[in-house]
Amino acid sequence: MSEIKYEIVKKIGELSKSASGWAKEVNLISWNDRDAKYDIRDWSADHEKMGKGVTLSKEELLALKALLNSIEI
């Protein structure tokens, strides 16, 4: 399996943090030298390890924002 290359272009924010130090974060990330996309996933404190997550284009992020704005909590 080839190594996954990533660069956190912009840290947007942290959604939660576990007792183990891992944090669920929203970031703008470039994967394998491609254009940066919005990304939601768990990261170790040193950002060397990551969990499974979801990567969204700007259009997908805007669609998610609209959906979230339309729900009542």
Determine, yes or no, domain membership for 57. Answer: yes
Determine, yes or no, domain membership for 53. Answer: yes
Task: Give per-residue pLDDT as tens, 20-48.
Answer: 999 999 999 999 999 999 999 999 999 99
pTM, entire model: 0.89
**Is residue 1 over pLDDT 80?**
no
Chain mean pLDDT for the chain: 96
Inter-residue contact 36 to 28 (CB < 8 Å): yes
The CATH number covering residue 39 comes to 2.30.31.70
Number of independent structural domains in the chain: 1
Distance between CA atoms of residues 16 and 32, nearest Å: 26
Domain range for 64 is 6-70
Determine, yes or no, domain membership for 29. Answer: yes
Determine, yes or no, domain membership for 1. Answer: no
Q: What pLDDT, on the 0 to 100 scale, is given for residue 2?
A: 77
Determine, yes or no, domain membership for 42. Answer: yes
